[in-house]
Amino acid sequence: MARQPEQGDDMLYLILEGVGNDSLLKALYEQCEAPIWELLFSETQWAPYKDESPLVIQTARGSAFYQWALKGLGKTGELRGVIIESDASLEAVLQWARARLTVTLGDTRNGLLRFYDPLVWHRLAPHDTGREGTVKRVVYWHGGPEDGSWLTSQNPEPVTMVGAPTLEAEQLQNLNLARA
16: which strand partners? 55, 81
- Mean pLDDT in the chain? 85
Amino acid at 19: V
For 139-151, what is each residue's pLDDT tens digit?
A: 999 988 888 999 9
Task: Check pLDDT > 90 for residue 158.
Answer: no
What's the average model confidence in pLDDT over 2-19? Answer: 67
Task: Check pLDDT > 90 for residue 160.
Answer: no
Contact present, 148 and 142 (Cβ < 8 Å): yes
Nearby residues of 177 by Cβ (< 8 Å), 6 or more positions away: 105, 167
Whole-model pTM: value is 0.85
Nearby residues of 138 by Cβ (< 8 Å), 6 or more positions away: 82, 83, 84, 85, 121, 126, 152, 153, 156
Q: What DSSP state is assigned to residue 19?
A: S
pLDDT the model gives residue 61: 87
Nearby residues of 26 by Cβ (< 8 Å), 6 or more positions away: none
Q: What are the extents of the domains in the chain?
A: 11-174
Closest CA to 15 of 39, 51, 32, 36: 39
